[in-house]
Amino acid sequence: MSSESLRIVWIYPDLLSTYGDRGNALILARRARQRGMPVEVLEVRSDQRLPATADIYLVGGGEDGPQALGAQRLLADGGLHRAVAQGSVVFGVCAGYQLLGTSFFAKGVQCRGLELLDLQSDRGESRAVGELAGEIDPRLGLPPLTGFENHGGRTHLGPEVAPLARVTTGIGNDGATEGAWRGKLLGTYSHGPALARNPALADLLLRWATGAHQLPPLDDTWSDRLRNERRAAVAPARA
């Protein structure tokens, strides 16, 4: 951690917050506080400078126009690149995941991404809307991913990133893999408050940020019930 409190930055809530993206900041902050960590959450709007010294950066979903604008402003600002160079954690969701790559499409135009992840996105033939589930990369040691996706993109991963998960339900990147990660950067098409259904993923981000190998367990009764219900909802019907 960069200071005595864990600093979480929610990047551009004025542009990149279409689907309850605030949830990820709320969930990380709560899970850290429950472990006794002091937390500071900063909401940085697109007309403000991005601090380069925070521990976790959240980049949320957005419509095409705001996504392109958000990428432009992040490139011009440079703060996120400096933070990544210093080892900060970045969690990108949906449009925020795409713009971490080398390029993406918005309003039919190819836009330059932040080139923080080796991936590029284009348009699929149809929109991917619905439940998304997958088995997460075993090296991350997490239970299966569950979420909801709503995007028109298809994402192609380069050799320098690993897929976050192998898709069991939904589309994700391309119907086979979903999301990507490298170092302490992680992106997913599981949109909006993705961490609500994946508290273990929230804890992974907290461990990356704090360097802790383990965190004290929390009472996740309701998240567990929600996860079980969603997993049952997408399970193939048994004869």
Q: Which is nearer to another protein, 1 or 218 (CB)?
A: 218
Q: Specify whether the backbone of 219 is left (phi greater than 0), alpha (psi in -120 to 50) or beta.
A: beta
Which listed residue (58, 168, 193, 204) binds another protein by CB under 8 A? Answer: 193
The answer to whether 136 touches 144, Cβ cutoff 8 Å, is yes
Please report, for residues 91, 178, 181, 215, 234, the alpha-carbon distance to residue 29 in angstroms, rounded to integers and kept in the order given: 14, 26, 22, 14, 30
- 52-91 residues in contact with another protein (CB under 8 A) are 63, 65-66, 69
Minimal CA–CA distance to 127: which of 148, 111, 96, 149? 149
Pairing of strands 6-11, 56-59: parallel
Pick one of 8, 9, 11, 15: the residue that binds another protein (CB under 8 A): 15
Out of 6, 10, 11, 21, name the contact with another protein by CB under 8 A. Answer: 21
Binding of residue 17 to another protein (CB under 8 A): yes
Q: Does 129 bind another protein (CB under 8 A)?
A: yes
Q: Are strands 185-188 and 177-182 parallel, antiparallel or unpaired?
A: antiparallel
- Using the contact rule CB under 8 A, the part of the chain among 109-117, 135-143, 178-186, 225-233 near another protein is 225-233
Q: Measured between alpha carbons, how far is residue 129 from residues 52, 108, 141 in Å? A: 34, 19, 27
- 84 to 123, contacts with another protein by CB under 8 A? none
Q: Does 178 bind another protein (CB under 8 A)?
A: no
Please say whether the beta carbons of 23 and 31 come within 8 A: no
Q: How far is the CB of 193 from another protein (least distance, A)?
A: 4
Does residue number 125 form part of the binding site for another protein (CB under 8 A)? Answer: no
Is residue 121 within 8 Å of 154, Cβ to Cβ? yes
Tokens 């049952």 belong to 232
Options 7, 154, 184, 191; binder of another protein; rule CB under 8 A? 191
| Inter-residue contact 198 to 183 (CB < 8 Å) | no
- Any contact of residue 19 with another protein (CB under 8 A)? yes
From 84-92, 108-116, 172-180, 190-198, span contacting another protein (CB under 8 A): 190-198
Q: Which is nearer to another protein, 97 or 119 (CB)?
A: 97
Q: Contact residues for another protein (CB under 8 A)? A: 13-15, 17-23, 26-27, 30, 45-47, 63, 65-66, 69, 129-130, 148, 150, 191-193, 196-197, 222-223, 225-226, 229
